[in-house]
Amino acid sequence: MDLAFFLIQLLNGLQYGLLLFLVSSGLTLVFGIMGIINLAHGSFYMVGAYLAWSLASMTGNLATAILLAIPLTVVLGMALERLLFRHLYSRDHLYQVLLTYGLILVFEELRSLIWGDDVHGVAVPALLNASIPLTENLSYPVYRLAISGVCLLLALALYFLIQKTRLGMMIRAGASNRDMVQSLGIDIKLIYTLVFALGVALAAFAGMINAPLSSVTPNMGSHVLIICFVVVVIGGIGSVKGAMAASLMIGLAETFGQVLVPEVAGMIVYVLMAIVLVWRPEGLFGRK
């Protein structure tokens, strides 16, 4: 493996890892703050990709499509929290699993009714449709770099939101003691709605920006969901920092695994998870 090839795989791994972070950060926030296990989180990723595809083919421009789709996903997130998830906060995890499992089936069938069962592709935006030559016959697409950049910016913004703003303080307080926050006069229900909508929008956004790289297919949500579960388990539930570390780890492990040992690449992430479970059952950044 020469240097340029190694560099390409490294960039691919980082880009995939950063994309995983967008999906899993929402998942881990919802776990950590509301104590909800959400199997339907992968469906939001799928909805994002399909929205990007259908709006891009209507408007002819991916950027416009994404700008139009984001408010839609925020509204979807708020509506789901208000109508369904709100009733599950005090319930056993078992019922959360069941309800969100049912939700997956509903999303898949609605997707099939609205958008059909075909595989679609989305064109890379013309502005970013170029590649940087590395050697004579190897080059790196600009679009992948752009995605990595956007993901990094969003990760920084998320960090700033949670650690440095007043809203972030309320979110963190709500995670550790819901009743206390409420008696201090903070509308915890509104905060839950916002956090949930944020998670939905992040997952959907990941689906939108990744649509030109991977084709838009039915069931695309379930693979992402399981990988994100592994990310959350490795990183530690509720830890955004942990989600970042684990996402990058898994992104690199899977990318290099597929190049070096393609037969067992699918299993590498689970072996990683098993090792972490033996070593630190609460996850890398989890609280005991």
Partner 1 sequence: MNNVRFSRSLPYAVIGLLAMFPMLDSTFYTQLLSKVLIMAIFAMSLDLLVGYTGLVSFGHAAYFGLAGYVLALLAAKFEAVSLWWSLPAAIGICVAFALATGMLVLRTRGIYFIMVTLAFAQMLFFVFHDTKLGGGSDGIYIYTKPTMNLGDTVLVNLEKLDQFYWLVLFCTAGTYFLLRRILGSSFGRALMGIKVNEHRMRALGFPVFRYQLASFALAGGLGGLAGYLAAVQFGFVNPEILSWHQSGAVLMMVILGGMGTLHGAVIGAFAFVLLQEVLSNQAWFGIAAKHWQLAMGILIMLVALYLPQGLAGLMNKFQRKPPPEAEEGADV
How far apart are CB 276 and partner 1 at their closest, in Å?
10
Contact range with partner 1 by CB under 8 A, out of 5-13, 89-97, 167-175, 185-193 = 89-97
**Cα–Cα distances in angstroms (integers) from residue 236 to residues 100, 104, 268, in the given order:** 21, 24, 19
**Cα–Cα distances in angstroms (integers) from residue 100 to residues 6, 104, 107, 217, in the given order:** 40, 6, 10, 21
User: Which residues have CB under 8 Å from 88's CB, separation 6+?
Assistant: 36, 95, 96, 99
Q: Which of 14, 52, 103, 194 binds partner 1 (CB under 8 A)?
A: 103
> Is residue 132 within a helix (H) or strand (E), and if so which, with residue range?
strand 131-133
Contact range with partner 1 by CB under 8 A, out of 92-100, 119-127, 146-154, 195-203 = 92-100
**φ, ψ for residue 140, nearest 5 deg:** -125, 130
For residue 21, state whether it binds partner 1 (rule: CB under 8 A). Answer: no
Nearer to partner 1, 138 or 277 (CB): 277
For residue 253, state whether it binds partner 1 (rule: CB under 8 A). Answer: no
How far apart are CB 106 and partner 1 at their closest, in Å?
4
* Residue 251 CB coordination number (10 Å): 23
Full DSSP string of 19-59: HHHHHHHHHHHIIIII----TTHHHHHHHHHHHHHHHHHHH
For residue 179, state whether it binds partner 1 (rule: CB under 8 A). Answer: no
User: Which residues have CB under 8 Å from 121's CB, separation 6+?
Assistant: 212, 215, 216
Binding characters for partner 1, 131-170, by CB under 8 A (x = yes): ----------------------------------------
Chain Cα centroid distance, residue 279: 26
The answer to whether the CB of 59 falls within 8 A of the CB of 68 is yes
For residue 93, state whether it binds partner 1 (rule: CB under 8 A). Answer: yes
CA distance 26 to 151: 13
Q: Which of 2, 1, 3, 7 is nearest to 144 (CA)?
A: 7
Contact range with partner 1 by CB under 8 A, out of 94-102, 119-127, 182-190, 205-213 = 94-102
For residue 116, state whether it binds partner 1 (rule: CB under 8 A). Answer: no
Nearer to partner 1, 162 or 231 (CB): 231
Residues binding partner 1: what is the number (CB under 8 A)? 44
Nearer to partner 1, 3 or 113 (CB): 113
For residue 47, state whether it binds partner 1 (rule: CB under 8 A). Answer: no
For partner 1, the binding residues (CB under 8 A) are 31, 35, 37, 39, 84, 87-88, 91, 93-99, 101-106, 108-110, 112-113, 222, 226, 229-230, 232-233, 237, 263-267, 270, 273-274, 277-278, 281
